[in-house]
A = this chain, B = another copy of it.
């Protein structure tokens, strides 16, 4: 590219890996990226589960998407999304530290608890899942994003446009630009820079509020930033 945004590499030349890609959120994101024409590798706890979901999504989208285990997916990806449960987040990243070195890692994890009154934010020693990932993956560039996107909408083939902003948190401009560009590949979605990693906690925790909104309004809520 010779344009002003030449710092953003062409996403079509990159492999996008989605760790935890067999859960609703990861599967939904992988589906949308494959539909957008990107090369996607799903990671799962087992090679078999990953491969099965990859094959399903390839059939559903006609896209370049395959699946395998999390380690192989981490190794295959140029840009690696982490969409795993909060429980075990740290151990998984410890185990993938070498495979993820030198890469942009996008943490999409919301540390939430649930009780009768609904969802609430869990305390995280490092401040947020994104900061925990950055603390573990010292040789990767960690960005936080895709926290507030409804899995239901992502997975619904009838939804042609996912009308929401993706708040992108990070300290390295090239990496946040890249992740914004990734969000922009999905129709209706817009990547918005929303601050440094130290301000990731509240974006992760805001998902608890959106769950309250969904319950009250029977919706699949997301957020848009106004005036930009």
Taking Cβ atoms with an 8 Å cutoff, the residues of A that contact B are 117-121, 150, 153, 163-164, 167, 169, 192-196, 198-199, 201-203, 205-206, 208-213, 216-217, 219-228
Contacts and interface: CB of A to CB of B under 8 A. Distances in A.
B222 A226 contact: yes
Interface residue SS majority, chain A: mixed
A119 B198 CA distance: 10
B223 A223 contact: yes
Given A199-B120, A208-B202, A225 B221 contact: yes
A201 B199 CA distance: 12
B203 A206 contact: yes
Nearest to A127: B121
B228 A217 contact: yes
A195 B226 contact: no
Contacts of A117: 196, 198
Given A221-B226, A222-B225, A226-B224, A199 B205 contact: yes
B208 A199 contact: yes
Given A121-B201, A199-B120, A212 B226 contact: no
A203 B120 CA distance: 12
19 contacts: A120-B198, A121-B201, A121-B202, A163-B227, A164-B226, A193-B216, A193-B217, A195-B209, A195-B212, A199-B205, A199-B209, A199-B212, A203-B209, A206-B206, A213-B225, A221-B225, A223-B225, A224-B224, A224-B226
A221 B208 CA distance: 21
A209 B121 contact: no
B228 A213 contact: yes
A209 B198 CA distance: 10
Nearest to A217: B228
